[in-house]
Structures are given as C-alpha cells and as structure tokens.
Amino acid sequence: MTTDEKTTLSTLPDEQRTPMLKRLTGANTLWIGLVLLVLVATFGAIRPDAIFQVTTLQFLLAETAVLLVLSVGMTFVIITSGIDLSVGSVLVFASVSSAMAMNSVSGGDATNAGWGVIGFGLLVAVVSGAAWGLLNGLLISRAKIPPLIVTLGSFGAAQGAALLLNNGSNVSGIPDKLNTTFGSGTWFGIPNIVIVAAVVTALGALLLSTTRFGRYTYAVGSNEEAARRVGISVRGHLTKVYLLAGTLAGLAGFMGNAFFRVAVVTGHETDNLNAIAAVVLGGTSIFGGTGSVLGTVFGVFIPAVLEKGLVIIGVKEFWQPIAVAVVLVAAVWLDQTRRRARNQR
C-alpha cells in the first residue's frame, strides 16, 4: 500500500479501517440479517406449506434478481453520499434499446434469433445504461450540479427517450432462446438469472471491500475534502461511480427482457425508490461513508419477503407498502441514532 493510500485510509471512520471480514460481519449487517431470518421464520411458521416450497423460493429469488443488480450500483452511489433517481428509467431505456436492436438485426422479429443477436442486445443494453451513467457522473462531478437534481432530470429524460423510441409501446420479439436459457432456465434448481445476479453481487462486494476503488468510495463519502487533499481525484471517482450504476442498470434492463420476454415501458416507476430503500435497509448510511454490499443483499430481500409473506398469509395488498415504509423509516432512524452516538464519543 502506498503512502497516499495509507493516508487516505486514515481519513475513514474506524469501522471502514477494519479488515474486510470484520466489516462484512459487523454488528449492523448481522442485525439486518437477523431481521430477515426472523421474517422468514415468522411467515414460515404461519404458512410452512407455502413459504418453504421450492417454487415459491425460486420465484422470490428470480423476482428480486433485477432489483439486486440495481441495488449493487446504488450502494456505491449512496456510500459517496450521493443519490441516483434515474436507475429505473435507465433500465427501461436500456431494455427498449436492446429489444429494438435485436429486432432490427433480425428483420423485425428476433424471436428465433441466436446467440450472436443476443450478445449484440446485451452490448446495446450495457452501453445504453453506461451512457446515461456517464452523463450523470459528468454533470455531478464537473458541472457541480447536486446529484438529486441531475438524476431527477435524467429520470424523466431517460423515460421520455424510451417512450419516443417505440411510440410508448412495449417491444416484443425477445429471442425465445434468451428466455428459456437465461430468463426462466435453471441450473441445479437455481434460476440462471439469480446466478447472474449473485455473480454481479459478489464482484461488487469484492470491488467495494478489497480494492482501491472501494477505499476511495468510502473516503469520498466520509469526507470529500479530506479525500481531495490526500490526492484522490474526487471528480474522476464520482464519474466512475455513476458510470458503474448506469452500467448495472443497463444490465438489469437486459435481465428484465430475458425474464419477462418483453421490453416494458411502464411498471418501473418505483424501481429507483425500491433500490434506495434496499440499500438503506441494508445498513448503508444515507449520509455516506458507511455500507456494504452484503447488507444490501439483506435489504433487497427484507421488503421482498415482507410483501410475499403478507400475500401468502392473506393480508390485504394495501398494507404491503405501509409495512415496507415503516421498516425503512425505522432503519434511517437507527442510522441517525448510531451516528449521533458515535459523534458524542
């Protein structure tokens, strides 16, 4: 480790200077994991015949795979004390762009297309997402516009651009091979789409916990001015963080095409809020400088298990967002309480 990296590390809070294993298994993450286990156990005790069925678990995992990929990118953004309200719209834009590109090179209908066309569709989706992420990052880091305003603007712009591409209609013609192999296929009983989300999550955790990029992410979120003084290119790093979030949103859009067999232009209006909620529920501080990808995994599944469990036990669906909202507010309150206690030491 270089002298600059040691100096950078010294600017972080004590909890971020701990080894990776201790950070991943910190008290905050363990408590969140315990909450998830309690929810599963509670709903399982009430309806064991429904909760612990293989098909129920498979569908729950597959449903949350796209949100998990979005939330990994959002974790990096929020640790820098930023926010990205555009990921849901970027997902839609990437999804529509990818589907239209595959149809375009297949004579108007990619239903029977092969892996070459599918690979091209993946490339278009990822590049589309990366382009929006890069735009967000440059406006935030170079033009010094607050992340809330920039990503709120790109939220509307990306959604509008997606609607313009196909006159507000969904895009069909998704290759059957993409759906049967990736969207609905399984490997030893595990949905393939879940395996991809797990790989992305593992890579995100390693990037955040073991690399210079991760250390710089924590440093920028903990104290941007201190990070700048020790030689970190804060503007460059913020651009890369938002580029990463956009790229993962593009990948999530492609995953959605595979799972739903259609590129939909509606129904993703709250994906950004769901991703933010998952990250905050997972213990990442909304004020920046603290968080982990493992915590985000728990945060993604807490509302998913809540919603699925409430449906299974027969609670009216109108109670579901209320329950999630209560848990989210409680998580932020606990985070603020912990920060105040730390600052009073």
- With beta carbons less than 8 A apart as the criterion, state whether 51 and 44 touch: yes
Query: Does the pLDDT at position 339 exceed 70?
Result: no
Query: Does the pLDDT at position 14 exceed 70?
Result: no
Task: Tell me what pLDDT residue 282 has.
Answer: 87
Query: Does the pLDDT at position 65 exceed 50?
Result: yes
Query: Does the pLDDT at position 24 exceed 50?
Result: no
Please measure the distance between the N-terminal and C-terminal CA atoms of the chain and give it in whole angstroms. 30
The amino acid sitting at 282 is: G
Q: Which two tokens stand for residue 153?
A: 């603007």
Task: Tell me what pLDDT residue 115 has.
Answer: 94
- With beta carbons less than 8 A apart as the criterion, state whether 338 and 313 touch: no
Query: Does the pLDDT at position 330 exceed 80?
Result: no
Distance CA 309, CA 331 (A): 20
Express each pLDDT in 189-215 by its tens digit.
Answer: 899 999 999 999 999 999 999 999 999
Q: Say if residue 22 is exposed, middle or buried (CB neighbours under 10 Å; 0-12, 13-18, 19+).
A: exposed
Task: Tell me what pLDDT residue 131 has.
Answer: 98
Mean of the per-residue pLDDT values of the chain: 86
Query: Does the pLDDT at position 69 exceed 90?
Result: yes
**pLDDT band for position 246 (cuts 50, 70, 90):** very high
Q: Which two tokens stand for residue 193?
A: 């789409």
Mean pLDDT across the stretch 235-249?
97
Query: Does the pLDDT at position 9 exceed 50?
Result: no
Task: Tell me what pLDDT residue 227 has.
Answer: 92
Give Rg (Cα) of the chain.
20
Task: Tell me what pLDDT residue 164 has.
Answer: 95
Concatenated DSSP letters of 228-251: HHTT--HHHHHHHHHHHHHHHHHH
Express each pLDDT in 282-304 by its tens digit.
Answer: 888 888 888 999 999 998 988 88
Query: Does the pLDDT at position 171 exceed 80?
Result: yes
Task: Tell me what pLDDT residue 15 has.
Answer: 44
Tell me which fold the domain 3-343 belongs to: ABC transporter involved in vitamin B12 uptake, BtuC (1.10.3470)
| b (16+ CB within 10 A) / e for 185-211 | eeeeeebbbbbbbeebbeebbebbbee
**pLDDT band for position 74 (cuts 50, 70, 90):** very high
268: how many CB neighbours lie within 10 A of its CB? 23
Predicted TM-score (pTM) of this structure = 0.87
- With beta carbons less than 8 A apart as the criterion, state whether 261 and 174 touch: yes
Express each pLDDT in 53-63 by its tens digit.
Answer: 777 788 888 88
Query: Does the pLDDT at position 332 exceed 50?
Result: yes
Q: Which residues have C-beta within 8 Å of that of residue 245, sequence separation ≥ 6? A: 73, 74, 76, 77, 84, 87, 133, 136
Least trusted range by pLDDT, from 161-170, 248-257, 293-302, 320-329: 320-329
